[in-house]
Amino acid sequence: MARESLGRIEGKKVLVIGDVGLDEYLMGDVRRISPEAPVPVVEVRNREFRLGLAANVAQNIHSLGGLGFMIGVVGGDTAAKDLAALLKSNGVSDQNLIVDGTRPTTHKVRLMSGQHHVVRFDFEETKFLSQSLESDVIEKFRGLIPSSDGVILQDYGKGVLSENLCQALIRLTHEQKKKIVIDPHRTTPVRYYRGADLIKPNRDEAYLLSGLNLDSLREHKNSLLDVARAIREQTAAPHLIITQGKDGVTIFSGIDGEPTHIPTDEREVFDVTGAGDTYLATFCLAWFSGLSIETAAVMANAAAGVVVGKIGSVPCSRDELIAALEA
């Protein structure tokens, strides 16, 4: 089953659009406390750059045997150049990066001691794009969507995806009779995503996006069902997947169909960074290839289980996914 299913996703083209970023890891050891202040001194031994946010989704698509095309917005800075170089070295084109000289490239620096985060520094500015930049994004999207097998819209709340842009991209996708999957952000009004084919929040995001009273929901045994119903009513999304970490995922499809719960295998977790990106990439590759939602969710669970056993934002390879599914 594993090799047959993965054979169907080989070469599938997925268009990823959303917030992109550069992840930097400074890794070392803590051997003493600073004499200047009661803080640990990390002796840095290694420095690595990795693709973050939507760029990590595109990277995962490539590592699983698909073709990831990515549209993103960066600043006119060194981080943008590092990001572009990293994209190319990981098999993803950098030709669809749009430069906004008024903002920095989103850049996260993590200081690590062994498997533990010591501190994280975020360099970013959250604001919506200008009308002219939104038009540039739409034109790039219009040129790429005909040759794509499906679209991922990944919202990290950095301001790239406005309501106007989301609705334009959903409309253009459906004009080409393709599917569009949304990875939402908890602070974005859920109406931005109306008309999408599938929305994939995690549990915390779903509760916030529903707009329901959280205090009363906590006392309701069917609260997840109520949350799912509220999101689907506001977005008219035919499918909704709520991920719940070690508790698996729940799929809501059909008008009044019963939810389907898919558990996850117990694994040793070192770092959950990037696991949601891996899940999204794997699921969409499988679903866009014609596999059922349930099969796609099982494959995505297995891929996410691989990356939580690693440190940092690291993709799941095709061979690793085969091994996880066969196990």
CB 109 within 8 A of CB 24: yes
Among residues 122, 155, 277, 319, the one annotated as catalytic is: 277
Q: How far is CA 42 from CA 33, 50, 119, 121, 141, in A?
A: 9, 20, 11, 15, 44
Phi (first) and psi of residue 14, to 5 degrees: -120, 130
DSSP 308: T
CB 290 within 8 A of CB 37: no
Q: How far is CA 318 from CA 4, 87, 236, 242, in A?
A: 12, 18, 34, 25
Phi (first) and psi of residue 150, to 5 degrees: 175, 170
CB atoms within 10 A of CB 58: 35
277 is catalytic: yes
Phi (first) and psi of residue 272, to 5 degrees: -90, 0
For residue 29, the SS3 value is strand
CB 38 within 8 A of CB 32: no
Q: What angle do CA 302, 8, 16 make, to 5 degrees?
A: 70
C-alpha to C-alpha distance for 27 and 46, rounded to whole angstroms: 5
Write the DSSP string, 229-280.
HHHHHHH--SEEEEE-GGG-EEEEESSSPPPEEE-------S--TTHHHHHH
The residue type at 166: C
CB 286 within 8 A of CB 62: no
Active site residues: 277
